[in-house]
Amino acid sequence: MILTIGLRELKSIFLSPLAWAILSVVQLILAYLFLGRVEIYQLYQSQFLAMDGAPGVTEFVIPDLLGNAAILFLLVVPLLTMRLVAEERRNRTLTLLFSAPVSMTEIVLGKYFGILLFLLLLLLLTALMPLSLVAGASLDFGLLGSGFLGLALLVGGFAAVGLFMSTLTQYSTVAAISTFGALLMFWILDWSGQGLRGGNLIAYLSLFNHYKPFLDGIFDSADAIYHVLLITTFLVLSIRRLDADRIGG
């Protein structure tokens, strides 16, 4: 049932002009940034060859590309998740889901699975850019894999937060703005807590602090667990919110 709901959600996403616009814009922007970074590397390649410990093409291109991709996803994921539940609530079709022989867990996980599939498609298309360099350069697949694993965990967290925010309102715009505000807060916690009592704890909760090591090719299980716990927390909150709606309704 989770798969059925997820595929239905994915189909509805692709029926939306907004999804196609996001797909196109994200790829155009990232392709522009990627080609610009590759061009800079080519300009300085001869100097890099004369240096000890000079960065390779993967080290020079990938962290910058995926760092910019994270910011871009922070902006577009709220637009993708804002309708997940809010639109159902506004159109009064949420009660139909409540009356169906499925649990709230299946509904939430199904909707999350649908939006996650779309985001993973975006990541796959993005991954084709650096992989295109294989024909003319030697890539560091460890760094490449680490970076994309970190980005996948990051956008998974973005989607979970967006889904929860969408359960709180019937207005898609409110859900989008709330999601963006929450994600931005999680992103900037590392520097916003500086100078405050308990600043280290606040900084530890920052999404950026748990994403940056992946860009450096460092896989730390603590960082991966942080992202998994973030996803799990907001999915559980979404389930509890819909359960409260069903009981209250």
CA gap 20, 151 in Å, rounded: 21
Q: CA 51, 52, 53: angle at the middle one, nearest 5? A: 110
pLDDT for residue 1 is more than 80? no
Residue 244, C-beta contacts closer than 8 angstroms, at least 6 positions apart: none
Segment 33-59 mean pLDDT: 77
Stretch 161-176: mean pLDDT, rounded?
92
Check pLDDT > 60 for residue 196. no
Average pLDDT, integer, range 105-121: 92
Check residue 246 and give its pLDDT: 75
Structural domain spans, the chain: 2-248
Provide the token pair at 117. Answer: 């599939």
Comparison of pLDDT for 248 and 244, the residue scoring more = 244
Mean pLDDT of the chain: 86
Residue 192 confidence class, pLDDT cut points 50, 70, 90: low
Whole-number Cα distances in Å, 12 to 5, 9, 108: 11, 5, 16
pLDDT of residue 200: 67
* Sign, Cα dihedral of 39, 43, 47, 49: positive
**CB contact at 8 A, 160 and 231:** yes
- Give the residue with greater pLDDT, 30 vs 59: 30
Residue 84 has pLDDT above 70, yes or no: yes
Q: What span, in angstroms and rounded, lies between the C-alpha atoms of 62 and 216?
A: 9
- pLDDT class for 109, splitting at 50, 70, 90? very high
56 vs 45: CA distance, rounded Å: 9
Dihedral (CA of 118, 120, 121, 123) sign: positive
Q: Which residues contact 13 (CB under 8 A, 6 or more apart)?
A: 19, 80, 114, 115, 118
Q: Is the pLDDT of residue 22 over 70?
A: yes
Token code pair at residue 42: 């080519």
pLDDT in tens, 62-77: 899 999 999 999 999 9
Lowest mean pLDDT segment, chosen from 60-69, 82-91, 122-131: 82-91
Highest-pLDDT range among 5-19, 42-56, 65-79: 65-79
Instruction: State how far the Cα of 207 lies from the Cα of 167, in Å rounded to an integer.
Output: 22
Q: What is the mean pLDDT of residues 34-60?
A: 77
Take residue 122 and report the two structure tokens written for it. Answer: 């975006």
Q: What's the pTM value of the predicted model, to 2 decimals?
A: 0.90
At 170, the pLDDT band (50, 70, 90 cuts) reads: confident
Q: What is the pLDDT of residues 49-58, one digit of tens each?
A: 666 666 677 8
Q: What is the pLDDT of residue 103?
A: 84
Share of the chain above pLDDT 70, in %: 91
pLDDT of residue 217: 87
* E-state strands within 106-208: none
195 token code pair: 């100078």
